[in-house]
Amino acid sequence: MGPNKAPHSLGQAVAMTGCADANTGGFIFGEEQKNSAGVGRQAMLLTPSPPGTRMGKAATLNQTMVREFILVGLSSNPTMQRVLFMVFLPLYLLTLAGNILVLVTIVHDRQLHSPMYFFLSNLSFIDICHASVTVPKMLVDFLSAEKTISFGGCVAQMFFLHLFTCTEIFLLTVMAYDRYVAICHPLQYLTIMSRRVCLQLTGVLWLGGTVHSLALTSMTIKLPYCGPREVDNFFCDVPPVIKLACTDTYVIEVLIVSNSGLISVVCFVVLVVSYGVILTSLRSRLSMGKRKALSTCAAHLTVVTLFLGHCIFIYSRPSTSLAEDKVVSVFFTAITPLLNPIIYTLRNEDMKRALNKLMGGKVDAEK
């Protein structure tokens, strides 16, 4: 067809236009052609690539790379933050001093080299680690304008928090079993709770805590995080962090309840039943030695109630924010580790005697 000839039909004209569009971008000349080309390039840049393509994968990767989170904290008022700093700094220092003192006392006094005090020393060590995971960061944030934590720091905080929490739950259960054997089977106590058995139980509970923490942390970091960064607490924990994910987290929430929540509830029931059996056994024979055992069990029950109460409250329900969450979390991370050495020393005559001996004081022989 020559350049001066017109198309014979509408179909032929459309075919010519389509052919021209395919080869030259259309019969557009001058400024119109430039504008059309610019708009086309803009459209190509703004149009998202399909997920399966290389560009789509890169865009998805960029969306998931949240580099840091913002911790909302306990208060946004600078004056209140300074007050809270002055309150929690002495509490943290007392927590370290009290638990270190318990550890040194047990190691120093050979009369305390028994299974019960071996587990108590493990409890003091865990309490030091447990408080140190969250409280130092909280104290720093009280004096900082920007309360941020890196993605890696947040993951590390979640991992160690659940490691020490789960390990302590298992340890409290083992301590209840130890008291059951000591009170209900005193003649076989040293045979059943031998040094080898104590070491094996300690290894198992630390292994269980590690597996539990790895499972929860790995599920959390695999979620895509592409926008919201404010963690509604003063530390990183699984429930508030997964709420920031850009996907449905219903399955993860169910797994948290069935994992952390179930462990807390089952261990709490086992502990209550164990101490119920012990108290029933002690009811009819309240000699001086039995009163001492009853005092020890009361101390254990107090610690169990304070510690497991938080775990059941936080992890046995879906990830919904309640006004009480932060109060419970503060008590769990900053107060309970301080109360443990106080409870065990004030209600334990052997510990008071050993502390007096360590400090060079007089030991009351009647105690």
Give the pLDDT score at 10.
41
Q: How confident is the model at residue 34 (pLDDT cuts 50, 70, 90)?
A: very low
Give the pLDDT score at 184.
83
Closest to 241 in 3D by CA, of 165, 308, 316, 156:
156
Q: What is the pLDDT of residues 248-273, one digit of tens each?
A: 888 888 888 777 778 888 888 888 88
Per DSSP bridges, beta strands 230-231 and 148-150 are unpaired
Q: What is the pLDDT of residues 186-233, one digit of tens each?
A: 889 989 999 999 999 999 999 999 999 999 999 888 888 887 888 988
Q: What is the pTM of this model?
A: 0.76
- Confidence check: pLDDT of 157 > 90: yes
Average pLDDT of the residues in 24-52? 39
Domains, the chain: 68-359 (1.20.1070.10)
Average pLDDT of the residues in 313-339? 80
Give the pLDDT score at 328.
86
Closest to 176 in 3D by CA, of 345, 306, 304, 336:
304
Distance from C-alpha of 205 to C-alpha of 203, rounded to nearest angstrom: 6
Give the pLDDT score at 179.
85
Give Cα separations from 9 to 12, 20, 28, 202 (angstroms): 5, 17, 21, 90
- Confidence check: pLDDT of 3 > 70: no
Q: What is the pLDDT of residues 108-143, one digit of tens each?
A: 888 888 998 999 999 999 999 999 999 999 999 999
Give the pLDDT score at 349.
78
Average pLDDT of the residues in 288-311? 71
Average pLDDT of the residues in 94-106? 93
Give Cα separations from 162 to 16, 103, 216 (angstroms): 70, 23, 8
